[in-house]
C-alpha cells in the first residue's frame, strides 16, 4: 500500500481548479441518489482526541501515542476494500469526522483521498469536509489540509463564552475559535461551517441569542445548532445527576431554538434541516446524502455505512458498522482488509422508514419522485392520504402533504420526532395492507 504523497497532492492540485461554488444547484440536482446506484458518499472516522469533552460519548480515544502510519495504512486499505465491495464507481463526497480528525496529519487525509480516487472516481468538485477543532487547527495546518484535498471545514466552535467552553471541557477559548474561523474563511471561502450548542446547564436564552448574533458577524455561510444532550457516562451527566450543575431547562432550550432559527432566517439562512442552516446555497452535500438515504460507506473504527454490496453480487442494502475499538479494528483491517463488525440487510419496510424519518428532517421533505424511487407501488398518498391521525397533523399545520410531497411546516420541523410517532406506525400499517406486488422497488 504505497501512498505516495505526490500522487495525493496530485489529486488535490487537480481539484483546486475545479472548485467552484456549484453546490447551490447541487443540493437539488445531482444529489438525490437513485438507489441502487454506483455512487456513494464516504465517511472516514478518525477516533482520537486530545482530551475528552465533558458532554461527548462518541467513539473516541485519547491515545498515548498514535502510530499514524499504521492508522493511515488501515484507513486506506479499508476504503479500498469497501469501495471494491460496494461496486461504487463514483464518490460524491468525503467527510473526515471523529474524534478530532484535524489532529491527523494532512498526509493521512491525502492518502485516503488518493486511494478513493484510485478505487473509484472522486470527481474534482466533490465536497471533502474535515471536522476541525480550533486549537488543533492553526492557519498553517489548515492550509496543509487544503493542499491535501480538503475543501470544506466544519469547526466545532460550540460557544463564544469561555465559561461555557470550560464547562464543555473544550481546549479552546472563544478568541481561539474566532481566529480559526477567520483563517478558515480565508482559506476556504464560502465553505466553512460552525457548530453552536444550546441548552447548556444554567444557560439563559438572552445571552445565548447574543452569542448567535455575535457569531453572525464572523461566520461563513453554514451554521449547525445542536442542543446539548446529556449522555450517560459523560462528566456533565454525572455532574447534573449529582446536582452540582442544574439540569438544562427544556423550556429555555425551546425558546433558544425558536428564536435562534428565526434570527438565522432573518439573516438570510435557509434551515435546510432540523439542525442545519445555510445561505448562498452552501448546504452540506455529504450530510444531504444521509437525509436522502443515499448510499454511504463508513471507513474507520466504529464508522457506519449503508450500501448495497454490489461488488460482491449483493442486491440488498445493508446497514454496516465497523469494529469500534481502534486497535482491534486495525488488527482486523490488517488481516481481512476491512474491520466490518456487523452487516445487517435492511428490509424494504425498514428502508422506507428511514426514507421517511430522514427525509422529513429536511425542509424540502420527501418529494413524490424521491419516495417513488424507494416505493414504486405505494405512493405517499396511499400511505398517509386517508389517515385521520395524519389529517389532524395537517390541520394543525405541523405537516404538509400536497402535489410536491410530504414535509414539515416551520413549526412541525421542531417537533418532527413527535410527528414520526404517528407517521411510522401508519407506514407500517400501510405496508402490511399493501397489495402484494412482485415488482416492489427496494
Partner 1 sequence: MWTLVGRGWSHGRALAVWAAGTAQRGRLEPLPTPTRGAPAEFRAWDRLYTSAERKEKIDMSRFSVENIRNFSIIAHVDHGKSTLADRLLELTGTIDKTKNNKQVLDKLQVERERGITVKAQTASLFYNWEGKQYLLNLIDTPGHVDFSYEVSRSLSACQGVLLVVDANEGIQAQTVANFFLAFEAQLSVIPVINKIDLKNADPESVEKQIEKVFDIPGDECIKISAKLGTNVERVLQAVIERIPPPKVHRINPLRALVFDSTFDQYRGVIANVALFDGVVSKGDKIVSAHTKKIHEVNEVGVLNPNEQPAHKLYAGQVGYLIAGMKDVTEAQIGDTLYLHKQPVEPLPGFKSAKPMVFAGMYPIDQSEYNNLKSAIEKLTINDSSVTVHRDSSLALGAGWRLGFLGLLHMEVFNQRLEQEYNASVILTTPTVPYKAVLSSAKLIKDYREKEITIINPAQFPEKSKVTEYLEPVVLGTIITPDEYTGKVMMLCQARRAVQKNMIFIDQNRVMLKYIFPLNEIVVDFYDSLKSLSSGYASFDYEDAGYQTAELVKMDILLNGNIVEELVTIVHKDKAHSVGKAICERLKDSLPRQLFEIAIQAAIGSKIIARETVKAYRKNVLAKCYGGDITRKMKLLKRQAEGKKKLRKVGNIEVPRDAFIKVLKTQSDK
Residues near partner 1 (CB under 8 A) are 41, 43, 97, 198-199, 224-227, 229, 250, 253-254, 257-258, 274-275, 287, 290-291, 296, 298, 302-306, 319, 321, 350, 353-354, 357-358, 361, 392-393, 396, 398, 414-421, 424-425
Cell of 157: 466552535
366 bridge partner residues: 406
Q: How far is the CB of 418 from partner 1 (least distance, A)?
A: 6
Q: Which is nearer to partner 1, 77 or 322 (CB)?
A: 322
Phi, psi of 341 (to 5 degrees): -90, -30
Q: How far is the CB of 15 from partner 1 (least distance, A)?
A: 23
Q: Which is nearer to partner 1, 134 or 305 (CB)?
A: 305
Q: How far is the CB of 392 from partner 1 (least distance, A)?
A: 7
d(CA 354, CA 398): 20
Cell of 418: 413527535
Q: Which is nearer to partner 1, 227 or 377 (CB)?
A: 227
Q: How far is the CB of 287 from partner 1 (least distance, A)?
A: 6
d(CA 419, CA 426): 11
Q: Which is nearer to partner 1, 180 or 287 (CB)?
A: 287
d(CA 157, CA 159): 6
Listing DSSP states for 133-195 in one string gives -GGG--HHHHHHHHHHT--EEEEEEE-S-HHHHHHTT-S--HHHHHHHHHHHHHHSTT-EEEE
Cβ neighbours of residue 352 under 8 Å, at least 6 residues apart? 374, 375, 427, 431
Q: Which is nearer to partner 1, 111 or 197 (CB)?
A: 197
Q: Which is nearer to partner 1, 57 or 171 (CB)?
A: 57
Q: Which is nearer to partner 1, 226 or 237 (CB)?
A: 226
d(CA 5, CA 11): 10
What is the Cα 127 distance to its own chain's centre? 12
d(CA 74, CA 78): 6
| Cell 493511515 sits on residue | 72
Q: How far is the CB of 186 from partner 1 (least distance, A)?
A: 27
Calculate the CA dihedral of residues 30, 35, 36, 42 and round it to 10 degrees: 60
Which stretches within 195-304 are classed as H helix?
Answer: 205-216, 235-242, 250-266, 285-291
Q: Which is nearer to partner 1, 327 or 429 (CB)?
A: 429
Q: Sign (positive/negative) of CA torsion 399, 402, 407, 413?
A: negative
* Cα angle 129, 355, 46; round to 5: 30
Q: Which is nearer to partner 1, 72 or 286 (CB)?
A: 286
Q: How far is the CB of 306 from partner 1 (least distance, A)?
A: 7
Q: Which of these, 370, 369, 360, lies nearest to 393 by C-alpha position?
A: 360
Q: How far is the CB of 438 from partner 1 (least distance, A)?
A: 27
Q: How far is the CB of 403 from partner 1 (least distance, A)?
A: 25
Q: How far is the CB of 40 from partner 1 (least distance, A)?
A: 11
Burial class from Cβ neighbours inside 10 Å (0-12, 13-18, 19+) for residue 337 reads middle
96 bridge partner residues: 44, 130
Q: Which is nearer to partner 1, 95 or 188 (CB)?
A: 95
Give the start-end residues of each E strand in 245-398.
Answer: 270-273, 276-278, 296-299, 304-307, 318-322, 340-345, 366-367
Q: How far is the CB of 423 from partner 1 (least distance, A)?
A: 9
Q: Which is nearer to partner 1, 1 or 392 (CB)?
A: 392
Amino acid at each position: 500500500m504505497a501512498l505516495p504523497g505526490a500522487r495525493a497532492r496530485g489529486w488535490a492540485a487537480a481539484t483546486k481548479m475545479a472548485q467552484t461554488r456549484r453546490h447551490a444547484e447541487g443540493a437539488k440536482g445531482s444529489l438525490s441518489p437513485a438507489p441502487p446506484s454506483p455512487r456513494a458518499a464516504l465517511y472516514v472516522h478518525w477516533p482520537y482526541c486530545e482530551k475528552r469533552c465533558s458532554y461527548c460519548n462518541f467513539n473516541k480515544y485519547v491515545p498515548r501515542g498514535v502510530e499514524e502510519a499504521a492508522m493511515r495504512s488501515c484507513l486506506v486499505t479499508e476504503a479500498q476494500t469497501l469501495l471494491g465491495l460496494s461496486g461504487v464507481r463514483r464518490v460524491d463526497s468525503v467527510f473526515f469526522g471523529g474524534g478530532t480528525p484535524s489532529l491527523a496529519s494532512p498526509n493521512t487525509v491525502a492518502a485516503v483521498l488518493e486511494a478513493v480516487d484510485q478505487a473509484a472516481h472522486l470527481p474534482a468538485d466533490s465536497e471533502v469536509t474535515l471536522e476541525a477543532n480550533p486549537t488543533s487547527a492553526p492557519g498553517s495546518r489548515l492550509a496543509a489540509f487544503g493542499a491535501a484535498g480538503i475543501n470544506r471545514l466544519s469547526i466545532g466552535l460550540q460557544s463564544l463564552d469561555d465559561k461555557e467552553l470550560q464547562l464543555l471541557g473544550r481546549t479552546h477559548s472563544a478568541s481561539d475559535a474566532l481566529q480559526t474561523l477567520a483563517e478558515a474563511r480565508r482559506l476556504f471561502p464560502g465553505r466553512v461551517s460552525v457548530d453552536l450548542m444550546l441548552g447548556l446547564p444554567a444557560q439563559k436564552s438572552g445571552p445565548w441569542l447574543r452569542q448567535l448574533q455575535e457569531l453572525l458577524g464572523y461566520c461563513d455561510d453554514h451554521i449547525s445548532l445542536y442542543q446539548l444532550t446529556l449522555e450517560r457516562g459523560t462528566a456533565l451527566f454525572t455532574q447534573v445527576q449529582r446536582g452540582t450543575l442544574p439540569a438544562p431547562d427544556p423550556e429555555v432550550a425551546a425558546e433558544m431554538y425558536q428564536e435562534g432559527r428565526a434570527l438565522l432566517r432573518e439573516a438570510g439562512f435557509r434551515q435546510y434541516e432540523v439542525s442545519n442552516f445555510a445561505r448562498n446555497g452552501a448546504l452540506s452535500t455529504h450530510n444531504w446524502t444521509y437525509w436522502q438515504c443515499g448510499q454511504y460507506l463508513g471507513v474507520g473504527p466504529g464508522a457506519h455505512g449503508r450500501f448495497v454490496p454490489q461488488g460482491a453480487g449483493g442486491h440488498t442494502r445493508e446497514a454496516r458498522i465497523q469494529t469500534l475499538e481502534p486497535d482491534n479494528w486495525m488488527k482486523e483491517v490488517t488481516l481481512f482488509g476491512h474491520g466490518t463488525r456487523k452487516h445487517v440487510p435492511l428490509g424494504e419496510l425498514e428502508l422506507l422508514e428511514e426514507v421517511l424519518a430522514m427525509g422529513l428532517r429536511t425542509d424540502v421533505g420527501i418529494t413524490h419522485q424521491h419516495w417513488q424511487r424507494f416505493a414504486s407501488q405505494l405512493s405517499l398518498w396511499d400511505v398517509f392520504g386517508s389517515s385521520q391521525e395524519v389529517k389532524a397533523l395537517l390541520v394543525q399545520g405541523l405537516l404538509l402533504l400536497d402535489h410536491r410531497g410530504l414535509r414539515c411546516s416551520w413549526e412541525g420541523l421542531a417537533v418532527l420526532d413527535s410527528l414520526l410517532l404517528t407517521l411510522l406506525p401508519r407506514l407500517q400499517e400501510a405496508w402490511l395492507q399493501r397489495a402484494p406486488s412482485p415488482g416492489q422497488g427496494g
